[in-house]
């Protein structure tokens, strides 16, 4: 019976989990549909403020325009979401 190196299998599994997590984060924040809209566009249009905030905290880019040239801020009628997006994109300092 061959002796395994301690921690070898566990480290490989951790690395694969990290890769999946990174992939999911990228997919959720930069994936676009056939109209160029991101998850942030949809969350903004549907007025899901908690999802908008979650996506922003996960690294979603509010400056991405869809194929019509609209920003996520421009597809919402919610002043709260519009304010959230403006505050997030405003230069800090």
The pLDDT score that the predictor gives to residue 31 is 83
Place of tokens 């919610």: 78
Has residue 72 been placed in a domain? yes
Has residue 35 been placed in a domain? yes
Digits of tens for pLDDT over the chain (93 positions)?
Answer: 454 444 444 556 556 555 555 544 554 556 888 899 999 999 999 999 999 999 999 889 999 999 999 999 999 999 999 999 998 866 555
For 38, left (φ over 0), alpha (ψ -120 to 50), or beta? beta
pTM of the model: 0.65
CATH number at residue 48: 1.25.40.20
Place of tokens 């395994």: 4
CA distances from 54 to 11, 59, 63, 85, 91 (A): 29, 9, 16, 12, 20
The pLDDT score that the predictor gives to residue 92 is 54
Has residue 2 been placed in a domain? no
Written as six digits, the tokens of 43 are: 């969350």
Domain that holds residue 61: 8-89
The three-class DSSP label of residue 19 is: helix
Q: How many domains does one find in the chain?
A: 1
């Amino acid at each position: 019976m061959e002796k395994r190196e301690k921690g070898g299998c566990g480290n490989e599994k951790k690395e694969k989990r990290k890769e999946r997590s990174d992939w999911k984060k990228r997919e959720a924040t930069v994936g676009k549909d056939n109209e160029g809209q991101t998850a942030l566009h949809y969350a903004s249009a549907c007025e899901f403020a908690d999802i908008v905030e979650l996506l922003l905290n996960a690294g979603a880019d509010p400056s991405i325009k869809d194929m019509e040239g609209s920003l996520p801020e421009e597809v919402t009628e919610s002043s709260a979401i519009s304010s959230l997006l403006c505050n997030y994109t405003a230069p800090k300092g």
